[in-house]
Structures are given as C-alpha cells and as structure tokens.
C-alpha cells in the first residue's frame, strides 16, 4: 500500500518539477513478473522506471550502507521494496532475495547489470536471476538530464522499453550463454537509444567515477 502511495507522490513531484515524462513502447512489457535491465546513467532512474512501468510493482537492490544511516531512510527503503546488498561481498541473498520477490511476492526487479553509472562492463547477475526465476529480461533506457538542475530546467525525460530477452533454462549456464545474453542486452539498449535519439551520447562524471572506484577499494 505504501509503495503505491510513494508512486503517486513521485509522479506528482516529477510533474511539478519537470512536466510529463515520455514513455515509449510500454506495450512491450510482458505479463507477469520480469527483470528490468538498464544501463545505469543517473541515480533517479529506478524511480522513473518504476513509475513508467506501473502498475507493476518493483523491488530493487540498494547498497547496505543506506539501511544504516537513519531509521527514516531505512523505513522508506523497506516500504519501497528495496533490499540491502553489500557491494564488496554480495553474498547469497543478492540472488535469493530477488528470486523470491519474482516468484513468490509478485514483484518485478530493477537491475543495472553494469553495476555503476561509470561502467559499460556487464556482469552476469541479471542473467542468472532470470534463469533461476524463469522470467524474461526487459531492456529499458533513460535519456534525459543527468543532474538535478536539468530537471529544474524542464529538460525532457524519456524512458523507452525494448523487446523482452528470454533466458533459456535448458543446457548449462556457461560463459557462452552469458555472453549471448550480454550481447542481446547491449544490442537492445543501442536499439532503444537510436529509437529515442540516435545522437544521444552518455558522458559520465569522471570525478564521481574516480570517487566511486576508490570507495570500491575500501
């Protein structure tokens, strides 16, 4: 119930700050639960994706440190279906929790396979979870402002969906299969980007990239 209230509030805030968000090809979203996969470009993408794909409800991974900052943030995260993941030592729960949400709690999952906003290297977690939960991967892409001032300037927010990617449960889950799915995701993101704006180029904040890289070493 609180998740739905949060979504209504967020939709209103987006409208108030920026106007209507543009959502393309929403009809490609399949029935039932699925894993939404996207290249990570800005911190507010999970919020936009959850609003764009409503009425489906989503869970998402959040770094464990956020759950220990203060009780209010912890309460908000838990009621937004977030679950903690230790980025340095993910552990079994990083796979088990999203699988349970997909199979038992009727919650789809938002995953950024590249892990951070400053990497293009795909990791195999989304493919593994999709295989074990027997759900498709739905590629999605965000184009729009990457900084808060861009929102205030009412730069257009665009979310585009792509065709679902099936993760086969037959055969071994080997490097070849992971590479196939990785390529399918990259190709899908490129197709969506070109559909929205073929001239769009994502330029990450290199200073923040260096800080995040240093944090990962700790």
Give the residue, 142 or 171, on which the prediction is more confident: 142
Q: 107-135 b/e with 16+ CB inside 10 Å = b?
A: bbbbbbbbbbbbbeebebbbbbbbbbbeb
Is pLDDT at 218 greater than 50 in this prediction? no
What span, in angstroms and rounded, lies between the C-alpha atoms of 43 and 94?
A: 20
- DSSP for 29-51, please give it: SPSS--EEE-----TTHHHHHHH
Backbone angles phi, psi at 116, to 5 degrees: -125, 170
pLDDT at 48: 92
Cis bond before residue 22 (omega within 30° of 0): no
For residue 84, the surrounding DSSP H or E stretch is strand 82-85
What span, in angstroms and rounded, lies between the C-alpha atoms of 1 and 212?
A: 34
- Residue 212 corresponds to which tokens in the numbers above? 């995040």
- Supply the pTM of this predicted model: 0.84
How many C-beta atoms surround the C-beta of residue 62 within 10 A?
A: 17
Q: What is the pLDDT of residues 19-51, one digit of tens each?
A: 778 999 999 999 999 999 999 898 889 889 999
Residue 116 DSSP one-character state = S
pLDDT at 119: 53
What span, in angstroms and rounded, lies between the C-alpha atoms of 136 and 126?
A: 10
How many C-beta atoms surround the C-beta of residue 168 within 10 A?
A: 12
For residue 150, the surrounding DSSP H or E stretch is helix 148-152
What span, in angstroms and rounded, lies between the C-alpha atoms of 60 and 68?
A: 17
Q: What is the pLDDT of residues 64-96, one digit of tens each?
A: 888 877 788 888 888 888 888 876 677 777 889
Class of residue 53 by CB neighbours under 10 A (exposed 0-12, middle 13-18, buried 19+): buried
């Amino acid at each position: 119930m609180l998740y739905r209230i949060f979504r209504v509030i967020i939709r209103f805030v987006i409208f108030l700050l920026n106007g209507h968000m543009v959502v393309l090809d929403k009809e490609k979203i399949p029935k039932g639960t699925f894993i939404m996969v996207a290249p990570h470009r800005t911190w507010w993408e999970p919020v936009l994706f959850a609003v764009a794909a409503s009425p489906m409800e989503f869970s998402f991974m959040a770094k464990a440190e956020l759950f220990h900052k203060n009780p209010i943030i912890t309460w908000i995260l838990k009621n937004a279906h977030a679950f903690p993941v230790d980025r340095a030592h993910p552990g079994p729960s990083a796979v088990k929790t999203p699988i349970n949400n997909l199979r038992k709690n009727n919650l789809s999952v938002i995953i950024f396979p590249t892990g951070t906003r400053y990497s293009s290297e795909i990791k195999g977690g989304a493919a593994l979870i999709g295989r074990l939960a027997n759900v498709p991967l739905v590629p999605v892409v965000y184009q729009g402002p990457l900084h808060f001032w861009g929102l205030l300037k009412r730069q257009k927010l665009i979310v585009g969906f792509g065709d679902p990617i099936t993760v086969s449960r037959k055969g071994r889950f080997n490097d070849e299969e992971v590479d196939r799915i990785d390529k399918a995701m990259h190709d899908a993101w490129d197709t969506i980007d070109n559909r929205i704006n073929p001239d769009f180029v994502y330029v990450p904040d290199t200073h923040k990239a260096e800080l995040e890289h240093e944090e990962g070493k700790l």
